[in-house]
Each structure stands twice: as structure tokens, then as C-alpha cells.
Amino acid sequence: MKTIGLIGGMSYESTADYYKIINRLINLHYGGHTSAKIVLYSVDFGEIERYQSEGKWEESARVLIDAAVKLESIGADMIALCTNTMHIVADDIQENIYIPFVHIADVTARRICSKNIKKVGLMATRYTMEMDFYVERLKKFDLEVVLPDQNERKVINDIIFNELVHGIIDEQSKENFIAIANDLVSKGCEGIILGCTEIGMLVKPEDLDISLFDTTQIHCETLVQLAIQ
């Protein structure tokens, strides 16, 4: 079994999900008392969030590169970033390590394409929705990406940063997410990307009559596949 290197803490809520999902899938594969080989570097999200809000992406890249290099040095066979937004510095991380960086947008796009879906809605932080690094990556897989309108994007972003990263699950917020997702469906979307690693805590597949692509779940499943090869 290969060792999975996780850069987490963005937020600790979704990082805990990564740890649980990966271990559960590894145990399902091997049985018995087997658990995953994981090395985790959990950063201070307060520092990262401050760099985000100030647009200091080079500073956040420095922090995450340092984490990746340390994980590689102690035996990680691959690196995964337990957040969608900070994939804005994914190329910087890969350039500074020798082991594979498993990109969350790539594995999600491949899953969508395997379902023969071409038009998807994206629900994520405002950085992920409004900056090019993520949407353009999806478009390389010939996907048409539809975003919520400006007011809806603010609602989504506020719920993520004010509630979900703190583990707060609010029923009204869930209804707001479902309403926004249904609006995307009305615009012709065949599937919805839950493009923030915390959204899966709030919205479940049974909540909508459309394919949901939970990036956390898909990322974890891919990491496990690579680990057991």
C-alpha cells in the first residue's frame, strides 16, 4: 500500500472527512483491521484565509509548498490538497516536489465525463467560482461550466466561511443551497459540482434529483485507488 500525503486544515472539518473516508475505503478493500497509510500536514487556516482575502497567493503558495516538501521527505508517495480553493497554487506545489500531485478538479472532471455529462453547475467559494484557475481546468475536459448569479455566489461563500468551516449545519442554509442548485438545473445543468470540500457536509445526493459530484468523496476515492495499485 502506498502512503497518501494530505495537506489539510482548510478547514479542519473537511480534513477530518478526508481521513475518515480514505480509511473507510481502504478497510473495505483490504478488510480486517487494515487502515490507510496517511501522513497529514494540517496548516493554520487563519493564516491561509488571511492571505486569500488579501490576494497574497504567493504567500499561501509558500506555506503549502513547504508542507508538501515535508510530506514528501517523510515518505508520502503522492500529495493531495484537502481544499478546492487553494488549488490556485497547485502548479507551484507540483513544481517543487517529485511525487505526483493529485489535482481535485482533474479527478472530478474525469468522473463527470465518465457519466457522459457535458454541462455542469459549480457551487464553491467565490475564489473558486470567479477566478480562472478552476473553471478553466474543467473546460479542458470539454465541460461547459455554469455559475450561480452574483447574489447566489455571495450566499454560497458566506455559508461556507461563516458556517461550514466551523462545522455549523443550518437547515435554512441547506434550503438555500438546494434552491441555488435547482436554479442551475433550470439553466440546463445535467450535474452539480460541490466544489468546496465542506459542502458535502450540508447537501447530500438524496436532496436533489440530479447528479451531485462531491469533490471530497471523488478525491478520496481516487487517492485510495492510487494507494492500492
Q: Is 196 one of the catalytic residues?
A: yes
CA 185 – CA 60 distance, rounded (Å): 35
Q: Which of 196, 197, 215, 220 is catalytic?
A: 196
- Nearest alpha-carbon partner for 145 in 193, 182, 106: 193
Residue type present at position 3 = T
Instruction: Judge contact between 191 and 145, C-beta under 8 A.
Output: no
Q: Which of 83, 108, 216, 222 is catalytic?
A: 83
CA 14 – CA 216 distance, rounded (Å): 8
E strands of the chain, at which residues?
4-8, 38-42, 78-81, 119-123, 144-146, 191-194, 211-214
CA 12 – CA 45 distance, rounded (Å): 8
The DSSP bridge partners found for residue 198 are none
- Nearest alpha-carbon partner for 17 in 200, 203, 223, 193: 200
Q: Is 82 one of the catalytic residues?
A: no
- What positions carry a catalytic annotation? 83, 196
